[in-house]
A and B are shown apart, each in its own frame.
Chain A
Amino acid sequence: MIVVKDLVRQFKSGDRTIKPVNGVSFELEKGSLASIVGKSGSGKSTLLSLLGALDKPTSGDVVVDGVSLAGLPDGKLTEYRRRDIGFVFQQFNLIPNLSAVDNVMLPMEFAGVRKAARLQRAKELLEQVQLDPEKHSRRTNRLSGGEQQRVAIARALANEPKLILADEPTGNLDEQTGEHIIELLSSLSRDHNTTILVVTHDRSLAQKTERCFRLQQGKLTEEVRTGSRR
């Protein structure tokens, strides 16, 4: 469902240009669960932002369900982000003065979901990520890092996107909660046919995904699995 063709993104830093993404090509089937690993600063977040239409590539194209992102106007890109993408940011990026529930309701508000319906769905999602009910109405700048991370995951799932891009979704979680989040994501890919791409340093998470890519010096290579366990 997603086809990436020779993607390049370069930055000018001072007098030299750096290319964290330099000719990346790959394809992902619908409903697949894949991971990207790589050293810090290798360009994983940069690649994810290109796939999520947060940023525009220097060259190359991303084709989602036959639609080329490069050819879409800004208005359509906004719609794509709202409807098709669930993005979990590495820094969470919750709105600090809004409660957890309000944060999860935001994407649904933008999509025009009725207030009662979005409140109910937001509560369900927060329960799914195991956030204590008494913390649902707490302002997110008063939540711990791991709690914020789970709110961010719930927000990414709000509009039932067909592609979830998650930047280190388990980075701040204890092993047990991390396991649970991995389980949640893989059940989504199994049961709802959601395509999921996660960036991770977590070996156990990377091993649980169907496919695993390594980003190195701007190039993406698929890791060949030693064992065929799933």
Chain B
Amino acid sequence: MSVLARSVGNAFRNKIRTAAVVAVLAVAIGLALAMLVANQAVGAKVQELNASVGTTLTVNPAGGQGFEGGGEPLTTAEAETAASVANVTAVVGTKALRLQTATTADSSTATTQPGPGGGFGPGGQQATVSTNLMAAVDAGTLGNRNGSAGTTGATGTSGTTTQPSRTLPITATGIGAEVDGTGKALDITSGTGLGDYTASEAKALVGTSLAEKNSLTVGSTFTIQDKTFTVAGIFDAGTTFGNNAVYVTLPEAQTLAETPDELSTMIVTVNSMENVDSTKTAVQAALGTDKADVTQGQRNLETAVSSLDSVKNISLIAFIAALATAGIIILLIMVMLVRERRREIGVLKAIGARNRTIGLQFVLESLVLVALGSVVGAVIASLASGGIASALISSNTTTTAATTTQRGGGLAGAMPNGAVPGGGMPGGGMGGGQGGPFGGASQLLTSVTASVSPGVLAAGIAAVFAVAIIGALVPALLTARIRPIEVLRGE
């Protein structure tokens, strides 16, 4: 018979009461654990949002965006200016190219060769160059509509011949780091990156669908403007449009466009979510309002993050409250048990038990109750936490979630530098993106899945035990004040 065995035995002395205590404890502990799981899930989501899209700014030439608009192009010097602004952690320059498939060698090349001469064509930004690649996206209605619009625009500079069926252009972007046009890291599914993105090299990253369409694998070659490029890697952007693209190094794109030092866009990464607004103003001021437009990539996500943050806070408070409740339950139960067993404690002292032996016995007894409560509570938590998390979130975001229907590429469409959203170039794609801001946010919110991870559960149970020990310590210390003479007193 050891102290532990005695404690376990004492915990089950009154079985009905033990069952009641365990049930009450289980509810408190289960609630605490569910809240902790919800808190962790929401916290992870907030972090993910902040890390991926929340902290990037996009700089476009004033008056221009993507291939549209006018104004003066951005330069590498301006990229350095932006980089020197406080709280800016990185500036990545991109240079967009429009690749036009050379279907028939003579006529098409002639038509799509305004590069050197008519460099400042429709958007002033794009340089249209030829390629032997076929676009992975069919033109469809939107594409053909855009095509005719584009042709009209082009007629101004070079009298174009009629094109019966227009192939869609492919976007090639020169990038200064291994990120896509929005500043997100590229997901390279096979092969490698381009290595040094600041050096000119005839290597390229090709989107999965484009690679498939043209039967390209790592090591294959294709041409842009009669120059042979080797496929260094295949990436997956996650969207059909995003995968119909090519990335080359920034200097390479600038050379192809014959516009060295020119940038289509700069992606400015800010060190934290809180500094995004102030940094946006600072970058705008540093570059001059007449030179550049600074926009925040995911404006709408700020609201999403702040509502998630409040959910996170609520769940944290609820966790602490439930934990404190469990502690108080233990405290009261143990105070009751100590009072009830006054005489027995007196007996133990009378036959020579040390105060700490008796105190330990009571703490262990409370831990037995908490252990049982935790087991039942963990089961309750794993059943309830998913429901609790989604209930918390949906009650915070019903308005946003209800309003939108997700349209294809909604998120990409919302990104200013998604360059050419959807299937069509200037028109329809942007329209499709309108639903995006909220659509994207609600999608992110509903994807907060409160899965019960063993690590979080273990941490929660450890916290419960810590609280239980604190709760049991007070009554355990009270036993030290009980005098052995209690044995001679009646119950």
Contacts and interface: CB of A to CB of B under 8 A. Distances in A.
Interface of A: 45, 49, 52-55, 75, 78-79, 81-83, 87, 89-91, 93-95, 97-98, 102, 105-107, 109-111, 115, 155, 159
Contact of A81 (B6, B344, B355, B484): B484
Interface in B336-361: 343-344, 347-355, 357
Given A97-B9, A98-B1, A109-B1, A79 B352 contact: yes
B108 to A, nearest CB: 95
Interface of B: 1-2, 6, 9-10, 13, 343-344, 347-355, 357, 483-485, 487-488
Contact of A102 (B1, B13, B352): B1
Contact of A107 (B2, B343, B351, B487): B351
Contact of A110 (B9, B10, B354): B354
Top-4 shortest CB links A-B: A82-B352, A55-B485, A54-B484, A102-B1
Given A54-B350, A95-B347, A97-B13, 12 more contacts: A49-B485, A52-B350, A78-B353, A81-B350, A89-B347, A91-B488, A95-B348, A107-B352, A109-B2, A110-B352, A110-B353, A111-B352
18 contacts: A54-B483, A54-B487, A55-B484, A78-B352, A78-B355, A79-B352, A81-B349, A81-B352, A82-B351, A82-B353, A83-B352, A90-B488, A93-B343, A93-B487, A97-B13, A110-B357, A111-B352, A155-B351
B344 to A, nearest CB: 6
Contacts, number: 73
A98 B352 contact: no
Contacts of B13: 97
Nearest to A55: B485
A93 B9 CA distance: 18
B10 A87 contact: no
Contacts of B1: 98, 102, 105-106, 109
Q: Which of B1, B343, B353, B357 has the most CB of A within 10 A?
A: B1
Given A87-B351, A95-B344, A110-B357, A54 B9 contact: no
Nearest to A46: B488
Contacts of A55: 483-485, 488
B347 A93 contact: yes
A154 B487 CA distance: 18
Contacts of A110: 351-354, 357
A53 to B, nearest CB: 8
Contacts of A81: 349-352, 484
A98 B6 contact: yes
A97 B344 CA distance: 11
